[in-house]
Amino acid sequence: MVMAALYRFGGSPLSGTIFESKNICIKCGKLGSGAGTNSFGNLYGTRRKYTPIEPISNNPATLEELVKVCKNKR
């Protein structure tokens, strides 16, 4: 089973359509697209349950740093 972290998504809360989604493989760090669901509401509801890994800053984490953090949280 391949694990990927969805790090960016956008869509319409009115229609529920997802028009953009970006993910990163936790094992290899490869970037991809796809959300694993077709519902913006499902993604947004899940996102509201979690706080960001770090507060938004002027020096954001790189994708490699995010993969490392995700691997350590398993």
User: At 49, is the pLDDT very low, low, confident or very high (cuts 50, 70, 90)?
Assistant: confident
The per-residue pLDDT for 30 is 82
- The mean pLDDT value for 42-65 works out to 70
The yes-or-no verdict on residue 70 having pLDDT over 70 is yes
Sequence-separated (6 or more) residues with CB below 8 Å from residue 74: 26
The per-residue pLDDT for 56 is 55
Is 56 within 8 Å of 36 (Cβ atoms)? no
User: At 31, is the pLDDT very low, low, confident or very high (cuts 50, 70, 90)?
Assistant: confident
Q: Give the strand pairing for 31-33 and 18-25.
A: antiparallel
% of residues, the chain, pLDDT over 70: 80
- The mean pLDDT value for 25-46 works out to 78
Name the amino acid, one letter, at 65: E
